[in-house]
Amino acid sequence: AQSVTQLDSHVSVSEGTPVLLRCNYSSSYSPSLFWYVQHPNKGLQLLLKYTSAATLVKGINGFEAEFKKSETSFHLTKPSAHMSDAAEYFCVVSDPYGGSQGNLIFGKGTKLSVKP
Amino acid sequence: NAGVTQTPKFRVLKTGQSMTLLCAQDMNHEYMYWYRQDPGMGLRLIHYSVGEGTTAKGEVPDGYNVSRLKKQNFLLGLESAAPSQTSVYFCASSYSGFTDTQYFGPGTRLTVL
């Protein structure tokens, strides 16, 4: 069965320092992987997605993620955090051959805090 | 272009009451989804629709019903609300299937007393 594990529930960084949000997945096939961001009291917005093209995926607002099949990871990074990056981030896996209802599994989220 | 809108934004119900949440999208998307978000749980899929007149169960469908009579609207109904249904509900839509980008509404915060 497919699953997503976000390794940190909360990450705190200082403004201007790098961001690393970790995500591991398990899937029975080559999955599609996403990162969504949710700002307080808002809906989710797509940051980036991997769908079996380039393994390094660039998203909006300077974020990027690298698909590593051997490590079953899809970590999200940004070279320099900005105060506006403070939000909750969700790693999501979609496995069309997973067989479960809906086939879209959300991680439990990582809350990113950015200190001035 | 409003994207995905949800009505209402907030609602308080008593146990046993019923209500309907409305989701509307103006992007001509085929797929629509209803999720619930609970603290520390991420989002869980309740029901979804692959086109007008169709609905299907997601991960947590019990206690909910849905209808998609018009392509742009997706309704979520609670026939007899329970405290366990206290949650934030999000609607989303996408042009094609689950691997396509989903566009989310702002959410409905529901409290069942």
Phi-psi region of B27 (alpha: psi -120 to 50; beta: other; left: phi over 0): alpha
Q: Which two tokens stand for residue B50?
A: 């692959």
pLDDT of A98 higher than 90: no
List CB contacts (< 8 A) between A96 and chain B.
97-99
Contact A44 B102 (CB under 8 A): yes
CA atoms lying within 13 Å on the CB side of residue B7: 6
For residues B54-79, average pLDDT: 95
Q: Which range, of A33-42, A80-89, B20-29, averages the lowest pLDDT?
A: A33-42
Tell me the C-alpha to C-alpha distance, in Å, between residue B80 and each of A36, B48, B77, B83.
32, 20, 9, 10
Residues with Cβ within 8 Å of residue B14, at least 6 apart in sequence: B81, B112, B113
Chain-centre distance for alpha carbon B12? 17
SS3 B70: coil
Using the beta-carbon criterion (under 8 Å), do B107 and A41 form an inter-chain contact? yes
- B1-23, pLDDT tens digit by residue? 779 999 999 999 999 999 999 99
Cα separation, A21 vs B2, in Å, equals: 31
d(CA B59, CA B47): 8
pLDDT at A96: 64
Residue A61 pLDDT grade (very low, low, confident, very high; cuts 50, 70, 90): very high
Whether residue A116 is predicted with pLDDT greater than 80 in this model: the reply is yes
CB-CB under 8 Å, A106 with B44: yes
Q: What's the confidence (pLDDT) of residue A79?
A: 97
> What's the CA gap between B1 and B23, in Å, rounded?
15
Which of A11-15, A92-96, B96-100 is modeled with the greatest confidence?
A11-15
pLDDT higher than 80, residue A1: no
The residue to which tokens 């603290």 are assigned: B39
Does the structure show a pLDDT above 70 at B104? yes
pLDDT band at B98 (very low <50, low <70, confident <90, very high): confident
The mean pLDDT value of chain A amounts to 89
Contacts of A48 in chain B (CB under 8 A): none
Chain B partners within 8 Å of A108 (Cβ):
40-42
